[in-house]
Amino acid sequence: MLRDFSNKFAIGASLALAILLSAGLVQAVVTDDVNFSVVAPEGVSLGSNATSEVAGGMEDGNQSNLTEPLSEVGGEAAANETAPPMAAGAAEVPAAADTANETLPEAANVSGAEIIPEAAGGELRAVCLNGCSYTTIQAAIDAAGEGDVVEVGSGTYRENVIVDKRVTIRGVNTGEGVPVVDAQGNGSAVLLKASGVFLEGLTITNAGPYPSAGIEVVSRDSVVAGCAVMNSNWAGIYLKGSANTTVSRCISSNNGNDGILVFRATGNLISESVVSNNLDDGIALLSSDDNRIEGNLVANNTDVGIFLDNSKNAVVTGNVLSYNAKGISLLNSGIDRVGPNRFFNNTVNLEGV
């Protein structure tokens, strides 16, 4: 079952950008000829206590103050647009990793994801802290058969979850908020070892140091949708050797290294997600070919918004990059298409393109 997020990010028909990152609310409204929508759970805070607004006094239809560098990549010209600098004092950039007052999302749900399959035909196994057949997520997975649905109710589950069967794991707000998986600083919070897994609607927090991650995927043909990953000691979401996996409509914020890291992985899609306030790169592709990064909001990351290193045949398009040290950086990488993307208040917008 797929459900709607409350707050939507949209890109439509003429130029005007407003990005708001504040306690309890994430909002981005962008209009231009790039068409995508990014959706985020209501109630999540991506910054400490500050607000970042990018408006720049741009009026509808007035694009005279834009620069449009063309990048010729793989024989295709792709336009990337840079907004004018904001007036002094017009924005306050959130601190990178202050999450003391982090507000967890309401139900982290997904809508309009035609590319997202769901395991079907299996038995429903309910997990809750009291009164269910299973009081831990791992116990339900261990008992499950291929194709079963593990439905996780509200509460904080202090465990490391290993998914070694093709199942659906779905978080459900049963009255006390979105369910949370807390790794308590040890190991990856959720490890997808089986292929064909569908993971939806969980908040993941407190994964351990390198090489652990909030969500680690070492299999193929899986989907991670509508999840919020925060406060990992290392990476937020880690696709390690994964193939044909989709990460869609997720939030990866306030992690100790990259928000989303793709390593030696092929044919994956990262789309319509919010990647912010991470202490290294927002989204990084390392030695990973034939991947797509489409329609994401990448903001306030300490280093590069989107970084490609030794990664070939990537498509990077329809993204909004704001307040990163660098917007997009390529190193020893060839891409089929970069752009159109939007850049706002990065120290450097494009490097190596």
Given a cut of 60, is residue 180 above it in pLDDT?
yes
The model's confidence at residue 27, banded by pLDDT at 50, 70 and 90, is very low
pTM for the whole thing? Answer: 0.74
Q: What is the pLDDT of residue 58?
A: 26
Q: Which numeric CATH code is attached to 1-55+69-353?
A: 2.160.20
| pLDDT greater than 70 at residue 350 | yes
Q: Find the radius of gyration of the CA atoms of the chain.
A: 19
Q: What is the mean pLDDT of the chain?
A: 75
Residue 88 has pLDDT above 60, yes or no: no
Query: What is the mean predicted confidence (pLDDT) over 108-115?
Result: 35
Give 198-246 pLDDT, tens digit per residue. 999 999 999 999 999 999 999 999 999 999 999 999 999 999 999 999 9
**Predicted confidence (pLDDT) per residue in 314-335, tens digit:** 999 999 999 999 999 999 887 7
pLDDT (0 to 100) of residue 351: 84
The residue type found at 168 is T
Q: What's the confidence (pLDDT) of residue 291? A: 97
Under the banding of pLDDT at 50, 70 and 90, the label for residue 78 is very low
Percent of the chain clearing pLDDT 70 (strictly above): 65
pLDDT of residue 237: 99
Residue-wise pLDDT for 274-308, tens only, equals: 999 999 999 999 999 999 999 999 999 999 999 99
Domains of the chain, by residue range, sit at 1-55+69-353
Confidence of residue 336 (pLDDT cuts 50, 70, 90): confident
